[in-house]
Amino acid sequence: MKVKDTQTAVPLQTQQPSGEDTKGLLRELVAHLRQNRTQLREEWARRITQAQLLTAMTEEEIFAEATSVYDNYVEALETGTFEALQAYARNLSERIIPRGVETHEVIGIVLLLRDVLARSLFAKYHEDFTKLNRILDSYEPAANRIANTVAVGFVQERERIIRQQQEAIRELSTPVLQVRERLLILPIIGVIDPQRARQLTEQLLRAIRTNRAKVVVIDITGVAAMDSNVANHLVQTVEASRLLGATVIVTGLSPEIAQTLVTIGVDLSEMATVGDLQGGIEEAERLLGYKVLALAEPAAPSQPA
Amino acid sequence: MEVPILKQGHYLIASIQSALTDADLSQLREALIARVGKYRARGVIVDVTALDVMDSFAVRTLRDIAHMARLRGSETVIVGIQPEVAFAMVQLGLSLKGIATALDLEEGLAFLDAKARERA
């Protein structure tokens, strides 16, 4: 049965208090939380330490953060707006993520606070069951939303950092270096996926153009494994560079990679390969018409130029 | 649009200025092959710097030009392929295997000069 008049009777479950009523109750709730601020805050900090959350932080830090979170929490309950809390959660995440605080810890502490406050409400209203019920009806949705906001803020911050780092790694991972007039080297380190292969090729082609390179040495000593896809990307890169008039020498194929490529039958006959980077650079210098001569050699007399 | 063909010493230079239709490309091929004989050219340079798209017909025509010019005693070099075009070409599997390519006109001329010295 549905009871519309909340003044006379309150159903025990699933009831939506009217706006006026909720506001009044929330006000009462907030007043209670403000009154018992010190005690509840301490209780919360104690519970956090007990649960061994936030172990990366000192006790004083936990207490200081707990105070700010508590105040923000009460404010969010009072005003019903979550912007300030959201901003605080983001700011908090920014500070604590680098210190190794995990997602479960952040969600854990917010749920603990929720628990601590709910218990204090039980203690306060245990004699008036109807009132307690109504208070909880106003408290629960707001508390859930707060927990949600904090968790989402934390995860978002985390994802933002991950994205930023991925970007940074991508930028760092593909330097195209000029070692001599018209000679570039491209050391590849790590895993090559299609996206990275594409980016590598584009970067190399642009560098060939801007540096007017004639020879490029691609060193893959730092590539641990290679499958047919990666090999094909490499062949494409070599072919595209040739279209721009540059010769490509690939160096540093490890014994494992050489075996894999032969076993899976990738055709690298179009590619010039040299054992190591030094050999590759020497070959490139030969192609460019350089000759390196030692001008002075301490042990043995050098050949006249 | 007709592609201007310039004679520069022993070399012919065809400088493509804008996107070409298939008919224009065929016309360029015929004109070049005719002039290789007429001017007794040693080398042909096709400058494609202005092209930002290269389809299979264009690539095939360039390949044909190179092969035909070789039969008439002239070396061909394709110059000025844009990085994006080069990337698109290899992705589409359009290759210019066995045909000389160079970064730009200057490089192309240097390549032909080196070839001529080899022959001399």
Check residue A14 and give its pLDDT.
44
User: Is residue A159 helix, strand or coil?
Assistant: helix
Contact (CB, 8 A) for A40 and A122: no
Nearest CA of chain A to the CA of B79: how many Å? 8
Better-scored residue on pLDDT, A81 or B20: B20
Give the nearest chain B residue to A239 (CA atoms).
Answer: B90
Tell whether the model's pLDDT for residue B79 goes beyond 70: yes
Report the percent of chain B where pLDDT is more than 90. 72
Give the nearest chain A residue to B49 (CA atoms).
Answer: A244
Any A CB within 8 A of B96 CB: yes
Least-confidence region, from A17-21, A30-34, A276-280? A17-21
Report the percent of chain A where pLDDT is more than 90. 18
Question: Which residues of chain B neighbour A205 with C-beta distances below 8 Å?
Answer: 83-84, 86-87
Better-scored residue on pLDDT, A73 or A182: A182
CATH code, domain carrying B84: 3.30.750.24
Beta carbons of B101 and A244 less than 8 Å apart: yes
Check residue A9 and give its pLDDT.
44
User: Looking at the 3D structure of chain B, how many domains does it have?
Assistant: 1
Any A CB within 8 A of B101 CB: yes
Check residue A173 and give its pLDDT.
66
pLDDT band at residue A302, thresholds of 50, 70 and 90?
Answer: low
Instruction: Provide CB contacts within 8 A for A252, sequence distance 6+.
Output: A219, A220, A221, A222, A275, A276, A277, A280
* Average pLDDT of every residue of chain B: 91
Map A199-233 to HEC letters: HHHHHHHHHHHHHCCCEEEEEEEECCCCCHHHHHH
pLDDT band at residue A2, thresholds of 50, 70 and 90?
Answer: very low
Beta carbons of A240 and B87 less than 8 Å apart: yes
Check residue A112 and give its pLDDT.
87
Question: Which residues of chain A neighbour B94 with C-beta distances below 8 Å?
Answer: none
> Which of A192-201, A229-238, B62-71 has the largest mean confidence?
B62-71
Any A CB within 8 A of B114 CB: no
Beta carbons of A244 and B90 less than 8 Å apart: no
Model pTM score:
0.61
Give the nearest chain A residue to B59 (CA atoms).
Answer: A243
pLDDT band at residue A230, thresholds of 50, 70 and 90?
Answer: confident
* Average pLDDT of every residue of chain A: 82
Least-confidence region, from A2-6, A207-211, A276-280? A2-6
ipTM for the whole predicted complex goes beyond 0.90? no
A184 strand-pairing partners = A178, A216
Question: Could you tell me where the DSSP H helices lie in B4-120?
Answer: 22-38, 56-71, 83-92, 105-119
Range of the domain at B53: 5-119
Tell whether the model's pLDDT for residue A303 goes beyond 80: no
> Which of A24-28, A41-45, A51-55 has the largest mean confidence?
A41-45
pLDDT band at residue A259, thresholds of 50, 70 and 90?
Answer: confident
